[in-house]
A and B are shown apart, each in its own frame.
Chain A
Amino acid sequence: MRSMRTRALIALVTVGALCASAGVAYAATARSGNLTTLYIHEDAFRNYDFTERTVSRTRVDWTVALMFWNNASINRVKNSAIGPLYDQTGGTMHGRLSDNTNSGYVWDDDGGRKTTKCPGAPFQPRNARHYRIYADGDDRLYNLSWGYWVYGSTHWDMDECSLSNPAWFGYSENAEEWLVYDWVNRTGRGAANDWASFYNNEPFRVAGDHIWDSNGYASAFNVG
């Protein structure tokens, strides 16, 4: 009885430690010449998010490939009809941006939402889709073309908490396509896959546990 209890306790602590370590960020390197600032009227943002509050192509996490527009805010997107599907939180990354007002560039931090908290853990799916979204003051930006908008990145997490399989992260293009599908089907609002170039094309490339695959085009999601 005591040994069963001990085993259960050890398993619980191990899983807990794995989940805690799943939030650890390992920086990747963006393709040379890709990292840049994009401007939409007088709003500006970096076309990658970062593992720390440093603008460096060796400190990036994923390509920015999502743009929620019209009536978006961080909370509106997360509480939309995709909320019950992407209902778990993830580790925090950082976006760099500026809006029309004279406040200069600011950082925004977001853990985003994912479909499974700890993929690969016992009794959990092996994979999860994960997105993060950024805006000024953690809410939203506004311009006359996009209305209220936020931007973000997405990727797969695979075997993140597995005890037996190596973890890997990536395939952003596929995760983006899934998010378009989920958005259209669950919210009833439109989404345009690969709507515009964000100049961050990352052909398939394996860098440790970081699998790059992004065609450089962002998708646009109409938020009502």
Chain B
Amino acid sequence: MTQRRLVRAGHLAVCLMLCACAPATADAAVEQEIVRLDTARHAPAVLVGGAGPKTLRVPFELPVGARQGPDSWYLVRLRYRVRFARDSGRGFAWVTSTTNDRTAAQIEYTTDRRRGRLSVRRTTVDLEHGQRERSSRSARDSLTFTNYLQYQGIRPGKNMWTIDLEQAGSARVERLEVLGDSAIVQTSRNPFPLTLTAAADRERPQIGERFTIKTVLTARPGQPVRDIVVRALPPEGGGVEILGPAKRRIGRQDDRRRTVTFTARARLPGTHAITVVADSDANRPNANVQVEVRQATRATSAPATAWVLTLVPALTMAAWLVVSRRRQRHLPL
């Protein structure tokens, strides 16, 4: 009995050890700071608004083969505090971050005075969240902004990271303090976890013929995607119509390939493109399927017609023979 308990305890201990060593949760991404303002001895960096743009430049290096995607991605994390002058009037101010002259952070402030009081509207756009805005009557604002760099904003070797402050109209930025943990970050988190490909089983259908559009979905390992709706959009002008449901709902997609099919019918001659789009809680991939619709050819029915025409004289001859034999049987001896 005691030995059995010891064996079970041993098994349990092994289990616990394995669980503790198990990989982290599926959605956790690996991140590494490539360059950081305070480490690069550029922080805190203070820019003051003026007639022209004010710029902070931070060089950094990347290894051979560095590129934006598909396995490794680069982000900008910009953290700052800004203060507008009390007499700031109607205008605009922009805080931007650029790598190799390719902008990946653009925070736009619209300032105005209403009943003598300053109003400030801040808008940001990033790849994952689209536009977000915030309005305030305060002359102060602080923000941590993160966004994926442009494809051309990353290259092996020497890179240049710049942070700019600009103003227009009567907007007056008294002080922009860029904080030390602003950084260029490398991450394994793919901003496009859901991928979609689509193809038609017939590239040159004839008018009236049906064909199938086969759509294959998959998600990146470790980044499952939810709330997926796949839609087949027929071309403008009605050259192709979708038969049956043009929309399919999929609850969850992991890294196993899933196929969704749509049925279509060719209606008008010419080249037509069907677009397949997937909405999800992550990204919205799309694919175009091009088909060339041909006129229905008469050659395909000719053999049948020819057979009928050939058979008519043969049948006529056979009928005459039958009739003539019956008459012979009835002649008197």
Contact = CB atoms under 8 A, between A and B. Distances in A.
Interface of A: 32-33, 35-37, 39, 42, 44, 57, 70-71, 73, 75-76, 79, 99-103, 136-137, 139-148, 224
B18 to A, nearest CB: 38
B127 A102 contact: no
Interface size on B, as a range, is 35 or more
A44 B286 CA distance: 10
B131 A137 contact: yes
Interface stretch (B96-104, B215-223, B255-263): B96-104
With a 10 A CB-CB cut-off, give which of A35, A70, A139, A142 has the most chain B CB atoms.
Answer: A142
Interface string B91-109: 0101010100111101010
A139 B96 contact: no
A145 B68 CA distance: 11
A43 to B, nearest CB: 9
Interface string B305-320: 0000000000000000
Top-3 shortest CB links A-B: A101-B130, A71-B103, A137-B131
B237 to A, nearest CB: 6
Output the residue of A100, A139, A141, A144 with the most chain B CB within 10 A.
A144
Contact of A42 (B123, B126, B286): B286
A73 B106 contact: yes
Given A79-B168, A137-B131, A147-B150, A102 B281 contact: yes
Contacts of A146: 150
Contacts of A71: 96, 98, 103, 106
B-side binding surface: helix, strand, loop or mixed?
A: strand
A34 B127 CA distance: 29
B236 interface: yes
14 contacts: A32-B237, A33-B237, A36-B236, A70-B101, A71-B106, A76-B94, A79-B92, A99-B130, A100-B127, A100-B283, A137-B123, A137-B131, A141-B130, A147-B150
Contacts of A79: 92, 168-169
Contacts of A33: 236-237, 270
Interface in B97-135: 98, 101-104, 106, 108, 110, 123, 125-131, 133
Interface string B168-191: 110000000000000000000000
B110 A75 contact: yes
A139 B286 contact: no
A76 B283 CA distance: 27
B284 A148 contact: no
A99 B237 CA distance: 24
B102 A75 contact: no
B236 A139 contact: no
Contact of A142 (B92, B147, B281, B288): B147
